[in-house]
Amino acid sequence: MDTDWCPEEVLQYALALFEEHELHCTVFATGLYTALKDGKAPLLEIGVHPNFNDTASVQHEAKLQELLNLYPHAQGVSSHAMMSSTPLLHLFKQAGLKYDRNLLRYKETEATPFYYYNGLLRVPIFWEDDIWFADKQREPFAANAFERSDLPLVFNFHPIHLYLNTYSPEHYAAFKPYYHEARKLLAYRHEGYGVFSYFRDLIAHLRANQIATGLLSELLAT
């Protein structure tokens, strides 16, 4: 998951879903959250999610270090909007990070993690919720990806989209003005098929077929 500045209550809701189903989860944090402050949950790993979008390159190191000061045990990084560049990949490595998750290979079952020449592991995302609901097709979860690949498949969810079962860009735009008002947001929860529905179907498939989940750090070579 990427927290993306969601309210504490929204993150706690999403984390409870993973805990309820005993699922591993790597969370990339945009700031300090009470639910993440100890980082000791055995099924939970915390990475950092810096926003470099409107920041001059000379400020990138300070932005990254601000989050690493909050989560000093983070091994992974995912930039907001997956921003990536050669200088950023060098910065990540120099900061002691071991992997980045800034590649989107949407629904590509053969996209495998690989080591960049500086030793940073690059982990591709197989599926992401905001890409899914922006697609006019918005196909419900299907198990065929698991049948076609033996590779680890990375699914990326955002707490806000699990909380409101987001189903379209228009739906997102409607509730975004109330992004930090958790109680008011509940009025916008979608009752049809949306991101939470997809998550529910994905989890049902994992359980029915005894497919293991894991933390992204487990992909690192030992």
Q: How far apart are the C-alpha atoms of 169 and 22, rounded to whole Å? A: 30
Alpha helices in the chain (DSSP H): 8-20, 60-70, 86-94, 129-134, 144-148, 159-164, 169-175, 182-185, 195-208
For residue range 162-191, list pLDDT tens digits in order: 999 999 999 999 999 999 999 999 999 999
- The residue ranges of every structural domain in the chain are 8-219
User: Does position 91 have pLDDT exceeding 90, yes or no?
Assistant: yes
For residue range 126-162, list pLDDT tens digits in order: 999 999 999 999 999 999 989 888 899 999 999 999 9
99 burial via Cβ count (<10 Å: 0-12, 13-18, 19+): buried
39 pLDDT tier (thresholds 50, 70, 90): low
Averaged confidence pLDDT in the chain: 95
Question: Has this prediction a pTM greater than 0.85?
Answer: yes
**The pLDDT of residue 40:** 59
For residue range 67-90, list pLDDT tens digits in order: 999 999 999 999 999 999 999 999
**The pLDDT of residue 59:** 97
Half-sphere exposure for 61 (CA within 13 Å, toward CB): 8
CA-nearest of 59, 67, 141, 152 to 105 is 152
**The pLDDT of residue 161:** 98
Average pLDDT rounded to a whole number, residues 105-130: 97
User: Does position 42 have pLDDT exceeding 90, yes or no?
Assistant: no
**The pLDDT of residue 221:** 86
Q: What fold, for 8-219? A: TIM Barrel (3.20.20)
38 pLDDT tier (thresholds 50, 70, 90): low
* β-strand partners of 27: 46
Which tokens go with 61? 């190191």
